[in-house]
Amino acid sequence: MSEPKAKFEIAKLDGAIIAEEDDGIRLDRWFKRHREGTPHALLARWARSGQLTLDGKKADVSDRIATGQKLVMPTPPVEAEARPARKGRPLTDADIELATGMVIHRDASAIVLNKLPGLATQGGTKTEQHVDGLLDALKYDAPVRPKLVHRLDKDTSGALLVARTPRAAAYFAKSFSNRSAKKTYWALIVGVPDIQQGEIDLPLAKQPGSGGEKMHVHDSGLASKTRYRVIERAGNSAAWVELQPLTGRTHQLRVHMAAIGHPIVGDGKYGGKGAFLTGSISRKMHLHSRRLRIDHPDGGAIDISAEVPEHFAASLDALGFDRLLGEIGIDDAAKGPPPKAALKAQAKAHSKQIRKARRGERRGRTADSKPTDFVGKAKPKPKTGKPPARKPAGKSPSAKKNPPRPARPR
């Protein structure tokens, strides 16, 4: 009688050494890049049963891996290996031109894009064209595909960081999560805040019934803080502001500005009909990621500014705003004196305000009248009553107390 076959066979083992470009990423992300056909459920089963090890120790799918570590794993089944990797649609010449045209910074570890308004960062329902789908056009000479490390709303334009290596992606992701990365936005808002510079501290939560697509201020929400500074105002109808999110909640800047009664121009989702200005001002969103500052994984830092899109620039000009005034940032103003160009722009803006204030003055003056120095202030009322009595002519009291000394005889 032949011996019965074993119910379980010992799995064949496979191994790999973690390369430098994979330093800092999660173990499941390593499998997604290097063993694309391995189902996540199978990977989790290997981890639970102890068949995944790093340097001889049991590993979990969420563990961060490091350069030089030895990874041991079972050989994936044939059907898993044969599963094709999911691919997006092939890029056209127009797609490649669009992607490369947005690049404003590139080095060995990072790419910074000036994202166009209306272009989604990632795909979704009925969203075929997005930044993530264009990243194959930005590989250049790198061995791996670039990776997004943060996102911007579809209608928000400006600086968007993309990592060129897995190591850089892990480094940048950590910078955004611990808030060491500094993001500065420009926005046009409806109306003018009473306080020219301050901080908005309002908790945000997902609005019920919106499917998570809309946020609102709620006491049970997550803590959310935004710093703001009014750069310049157009009367009482609109203002150009600088915004700096101190937390990273969904739609944070948009909800905060609408909550204080000054929605971002063009943001009908949170500002309703009141978010649109009349005249030649575009109905597009006027929110722009102007500046990004973040430490670089290879040393030093990235400090890059993105130019505003055409509709934003046209609105600044239409409202008579001086772009040099935006050179003074919230952080820069506290560090030291502003640049000369910004000082010149401030003086120009001040002169403009004085001219506006003088428009209401009476134009017809008598020959003896002189220009007043009380611009924008109430003129002092003339004093009534008897004029003060004049002191009698003669020697002053001090002269009596200190009479002149006689000359010394020679």
pLDDT of residue 30: 84
The residue written with tokens 């009595």 in the block is 389
Residue 177 sits in the same domain as residue 204: yes
In this predicted structure, the answer to whether residue 110 has a pLDDT above a threshold of 50 is yes
Residue 67 sits in the same domain as residue 103: no
Closest C-alpha among 127, 366, 157, 156 to residue 254 = 156
pLDDT of residue 363: 47
| Domain assignment present for 53 | yes
Percent of the chain at pLDDT above 90?
50
Q: Is 219 in the active site? A: no
Residue 37 sits in the same domain as residue 113: no
**Which residues are CB-neighbours of 225 under 8 A, at least 6 positions away?**
199, 200, 201, 245, 246, 247
Assess contact for 156 and 117: CB atoms under 8 A. Answer: yes
pLDDT, tens digit, for every residue of 169-223? 989 988 998 889 999 999 999 999 999 999 999 999 999 887 768 999 999 999 9
Per-residue confidence band for 107, with pLDDT thresholds at 50, 70 and 90: very high
Say if pTM beats, i.e. exceeds, 0.85: no
pLDDT, tens digit, for every residue of 135-183? 999 999 888 899 999 999 999 999 999 999 988 998 998 899 888 999 9
pLDDT of residue 31: 84
| Domain assignment present for 39 | yes
Alpha-carbon Rg of the chain, whole angstroms? Answer: 33
Q: What is the CATH number of the domain that holds 204?
A: 3.30.2350.10
In this predicted structure, the answer to whether residue 268 has a pLDDT above a threshold of 80 is yes
What are the φ and ψ backbone dihedral angles of 84, each rounded to 5 degrees? -75, 150
pLDDT of residue 372: 39
Residue 224 sits in the same domain as residue 308: yes
Between CA 143 and CA 139 the distance in angstroms is 7
Helix, coil or strand: residue 49: coil
pLDDT of residue 393: 55
Per-residue confidence band for 368, with pLDDT thresholds at 50, 70 and 90: very low
pLDDT, tens digit, for every residue of 39-97? 888 888 888 888 999 998 999 988 888 888 899 988 765 444 434 444 567 899 999 99
Per-residue confidence band for 134, with pLDDT thresholds at 50, 70 and 90: very high
Residue 29 sits in the same domain as residue 127: no
Whole-number mean pLDDT of the chain? 81
Assess contact for 96 and 129: CB atoms under 8 A. Answer: no
pLDDT of residue 83: 43
Residue 104 sits in the same domain as residue 76: no
Assess contact for 242 and 186: CB atoms under 8 A. Answer: yes
pLDDT, tens digit, for every residue of 327-365? 876 666 545 555 556 556 656 665 665 565 555 554 444
Residue 128 sits in the same domain as residue 258: yes
Q: What is the CATH number of the domain that holds 78?
A: 3.10.290.10
Closest C-alpha among 371, 388, 372, 389 to residue 380 = 372
Neighbours of 89 (CB within 10 A): 9
More confident residue, 77 or 261: 261
pLDDT of residue 2: 47
Active-site pick, 153, 155, 267, 322: 153
